Amino acid sequence: MKLLFCCAGTKPEPWIAGLRAALPAADVAVWEPGAPAADYAVVWAPPQAFLDEQPGLRAVFNIGAGVDALLKLRLPPTARVVRLDDAGMSVQMAEYVCHAVIRHYREFDGYEADVRQGRWSYRKPRSRADFAVGVMGLGVLGSRVAQALRVFEFPVNGWSRSPKALDGVRGFSGREGFNDFLAASRVLVNLLPLTPDTQDILNRDTLSRLQPGGYVINVARGAHLVDEDLLALLDEGHLAGATLDVFRTEPLPAGHPFWTHPGMTVTPHTSARTLRDESIAQIAGKIRALEQGEPIAGIVDPVRGY
């Protein structure tokens, strides 16, 4: 069995060592043009040339949470795309989103601004009942985020393409439930996969349906958000602010209004990072299952895009 590693911007040596330790019978190598045919591949942002050279791949393991960029490439006809189920990312995402929600709800951003100006200030406590949080996308990450928010006793709404029941979360689903979901939410958290149906889904029409004083947290993909629409609604006062971790162009270009807008908190795509050891253990386990003809979780439906 041969396994190739082709991950742009990732130091390969620790991954190769870990994969060899987890799969001692496998021939594990970093891809170079002209490499011999492989059975499996571990990838992040691979070039088309890699996939064209490897028409016999049985499975391609994507080490990031999103597979939208990979699905835009021409994939080997027999290769299944496999995403990581979690690999330590869901707890990081829950931490990030809860921090962003609490920071806004408790007005810690306002206190921080006052302290920088040398002001000792006070703000009247606000009611959690007035801060319903809507989580768009209830996959592995979204479900963990929704449940974490419940610990802090926020009302939590969840929207997914098909009905999904989570304890303590008010469920909405499908096109017919989308507008009601938005209207019931004051804080909106986007954790949807990026597909043709969800691109630009955070736009003037959808964001205007949030409750007045709404707040937007985007930790999915930058292409979900229409930047100009968000900025306009912030300036008009319908939205109180936003925390953004993902952007259409990354790094965020110098001079982009998001850098300096007073209602904006920007982080450099760091809400949930791939944890190498957990990822290697999961990939190795799935390869062993495939070698034994057993089913695995995480196979991507190329039509749905997730």
DSSP string, 12-26: HHHHHHHHHHH-TTS
Q: Which residues contact 202 (CB under 8 A, 6 or more apart)?
A: 188, 190, 216, 218, 224, 225, 226, 229, 230
Give CA torsion, residues 98, 142, 191, 10, to 10 deg: 90
- Residue 204, phi then psi, degrees to nearest 5: -60, -45
Count how many Cα atoms sit within 13 Å of the Cα of residue 222 in the half-sphere of its side chain. 17
Block residue for tokens 């997914």: 160
Structural tokens at position 152: 């802090």
Q: Which of 170, 269, 276, 288 is catalytic?
A: 269
Contact 130, 106 (CB under 8 A): no
DSSP letter at 297 equals S
- 221 flagged as catalytic: yes
Nearest to 219 by CA among 145, 133, 275: 145
Catalytic annotation, pick one of 221, 224, 238, 256: 221
Provide the residue type at 237 as one letter: G
Residue among 22, 34, 18, 25 at smallest CA distance from 2: 25
Could you give the CA distance from residue 6 to residue 72 in angstroms, rounded to a whole number?
Answer: 17
99 is catalytic: no
Contact 137, 220 (CB under 8 A): yes
Structure tokens at 146: 């929704």
Q: How far apart are CA 268 and CA 176, in angstroms?
A: 34
Q: Using DSSP, state whether 127 is helix, strand or coil.
A: coil
Residue 192 DSSP symbol: P
Return the active site residues: 221, 269
